[in-house]
Structure 1
Amino acid sequence: MLVYSLPGTFETREAHLDLLWEAGATGLEERAGLIRAYFDTETELPAEIRDGQWQDEAEQDWLAAFKATLRPVRAGRITIVPPWLRAEVEAGQVPLIIEPGMAFGTGHHATTRMAVEALGELDLAGLRVLDVGTGSGVLAIAGALLGAEQVLGVDIDPITIPIAVENAQDNGVPEGRAVFVQGTLGDELPGDWNEPSDVLVANLYAELHDLLAGDYAAHLRPGGPLVLTGILTGKLALVRAALEREGFTAVQVREDGEWALVTATAPQS
């Protein structure tokens, strides 16, 4: 089988994955900092992803190999697992079932795990949680499982929405309690979601957090918790400056390797 391997960063990851699918990849995986795409034949690729390398490898069941590497991920009160490992969730933990697929968010990345942990430290009972850049819906679903009355997941990628909906159903979250829509914070949101939410969580990247900081403030009730992740530690200053600019307070940072999570409190007025 032909494998095309190229380096990827968090910022370029989604664009690279989309281009590889569009070029005819039959499967994708990430290994040791590389995106590996499987093709039936060598293919002319877009210029943006021509810095990779083709190689011929022995045939294997790549999906089975990927599944064999997955383990339950404990993230505070929640354990994120694929369906076939549900029995391994420890007693007292809340299982969050995610079928690995094309949408980002199996829970194994430090950014996702830290965000789930941060949500678990909040009392979400009866609250409304807005998840920006929802991907597979893991953070919105985590909010629902942790007691949120309503969750809304928003993503610009239409591919993610049916995946997130299916994941919510697999976790027993009622349709009306978890809603997923394609769009951005600048769009008209469904129902009363144009009113400020109680909690906002976003797993994006530093430059987008900088651009969206004003929208975060507008979509959060005064004093509401903000949870931001997907941030490289080298770009923390950009996110801190954006939050200060928009009047957020109580800014705190936690790090895991090269990744950081930032929490803050929305302006009081």
Structure 2
Amino acid sequence: MLVYHLPGTFDTRENHLDLLWDAGATGLEERAGSIRAYFDGRTDLPAEVADGEWRQEADQDWLAEFKANLKPVTAGRVTIVPPWLTAEVPAGQLPLIIEPGMAFGTGHHATTRMAVEALSALNLQGQRVLDVGTGSGVLAIAAALLGAQAALGVDIDPQTIPIARENAEINGVPRAVVTFLEGTLGSDLPEHAAPDGIFDVLVANLYAELHDLLAGEYLAHLQPGGSLVLTGILVGKLPLVQDALDREGVTDVLVRQDGEWALVTACAPR
């Protein structure tokens, strides 16, 4: 069994995990402060993840171990589970089924969990929700399950879109309610999601530098008084996001921290 050992954890190298999947990894595991990436054969890896070491190890059923250690994630009124754990969703919780490893956003990372919790705390009945950097579609799908009238997920990575659509189908969310598109905030948005391109809620699990860059664009797509939910923010870079929001005149800014990660909620200026 060929294993690529990469220093770090899923949290510290979150932005590099997709690079390993794209390079052909058949599984990822975090163990003892390092990431173990399983491959069928050696391959050239991007420079961002070239600081690891290839090792040939005795065969083991890593997939069975991975599934055995994976647990449901409760985030507000939603419980995020892989397909094989749906029976473990507590009564009264909304199940959100996501296949791990398909694209970023399984619910097991603090940023995704906090974002779903923040959405769960809002009254989304009849609301229009925009998910920027949708990845697996988990946040847009969560919004739909929580009662949103329409949810739109956009991502610049074309590989995420069919995955997000498949996840929506698995969760029984019709395309009339949740839509996924390759693109950015400047793209043409479907009229059924927001006829005027304006949403009631905008959620983005990106990173601090992008939130700083896109703060004005976020507000251009939000109703006055609309809800802004931003995460993917390392605590050390939180001031960058707070300064950007202050610059744009947002109100009711609240910060929540989970370990080294932060989530910011705010309201668009009225």
TM-score range, shorter chain: over 0.9
CA, structure 1 residues 168+22, in 2 after alignment: closer, same or farther (shift >3 Å)?
A: closer
Partner Cα separation in structure 2 for residue 30 and residue 204 of structure 1: 22
CA, structure 1 residues 52+251, in 2 after alignment: closer, same or farther (shift >3 Å)?
A: same
- Aligned ranges 1:15-164 → 2 under 5 Å: 16-32=16-32, 34-164=34-164
SS of aligned partner of 2:41: coil
Question: Does the Cα contact within 8 Å between 1:73 and 1:79 map onto a contact in 2?
Answer: yes
User: What residue in structure 1 maps to residue 182 of structure 2?
Assistant: 182
Question: Does the Cα contact within 8 Å between 1:125 and 1:147 map onto a contact in 2?
Answer: yes
Question: What is the CA-CA distance between 1:101 and the residue it aligns to?
Answer: 2.4
Tell me which stretches of 4 or more aligned residues in structure 1 moved more than 6 Å.
Answer: none
User: What residue in structure 2 maps to residue 213 of structure 1?
Assistant: 215
* Unpaired segments ≥5 residues, structure 1: none
TM-score (norm 1): 0.92
Partner Cα separation in structure 2 for residue 130 and residue 67 of structure 1: 32
User: What residue in structure 1 maps to residue 241 of structure 2?
Assistant: 239
Question: Does the Cα contact within 8 Å between 1:104 and 1:135 map onto a contact in 2?
Answer: yes
How many residues of Structure 1 are paired with residues of Structure 2 in the alignment?
267
Question: What is the CA-CA distance between 1:97 and the residue it aligns to?
Answer: 1.1
CA, structure 1 residues 120+38, in 2 after alignment: closer, same or farther (shift >3 Å)?
A: same
SS of aligned partner of 1:5: strand
Q: Which amino acid aligns with 1:181?
A: L
Q: Which amino acid aligns with 2:246?
A: E
Partner Cα separation in structure 1 for residue 22 and residue 81 of structure 2: 29
Question: Does the Cα contact within 8 Å between 2:99 and 2:106 map onto a contact in 1?
Answer: yes
* Unpaired segments ≥5 residues, structure 2: none
Partner Cα separation in structure 1 for residue 167 and residue 64 of structure 2: 20
**What root-mean-square deviation, in Å, do the aligned CA atoms of Structure 1 and Structure 2 show?**
1.9
Partner Cα separation in structure 2 for residue 80 and residue 18 of structure 1: 20
Partner Cα separation in structure 2 for residue 116 and residue 173 of structure 1: 17
Question: What is the CA-CA distance between 1:36 and the residue it aligns to?
Answer: 2.5
SS of aligned partner of 2:60: coil
Q: Which amino acid aligns with 1:207?
A: E
CA, structure 1 residues 241+36, in 2 after alignment: closer, same or farther (shift >3 Å)?
A: same
CA, structure 1 residues 26+96, in 2 after alignment: closer, same or farther (shift >3 Å)?
A: closer
Of all paired residues, the percent bearing the same amino acid is 74
Deviations 1:140-199 (A, max 9, x none): 011001100000001111111111111111111111110001111122222254521000
Question: Does the Cα contact within 8 Å between 1:221 and 1:266 map onto a contact in 2?
Answer: yes
User: What residue in structure 2 maps to residue 197 of structure 1?
Assistant: 199
Partner Cα separation in structure 1 for residue 145 and residue 53 of structure 2: 42
Segment of structure 1 superposing worse, 47-56 or 71-80: 47-56
Partner Cα separation in structure 2 for residue 177 and residue 45 of structure 1: 38
Q: Does 1:228 align with 2:230?
A: yes
Partner Cα separation in structure 1 for residue 248 and residue 104 of structure 2: 29
Q: Which amino acid aligns with 1:216?
A: Y
TM-score (norm 2): 0.92
SS of aligned partner of 1:235: helix
Question: Does the Cα contact within 8 Å between 1:11 and 1:205 map onto a contact in 2?
Answer: no
CA, structure 1 residues 71+248, in 2 after alignment: closer, same or farther (shift >3 Å)?
A: same
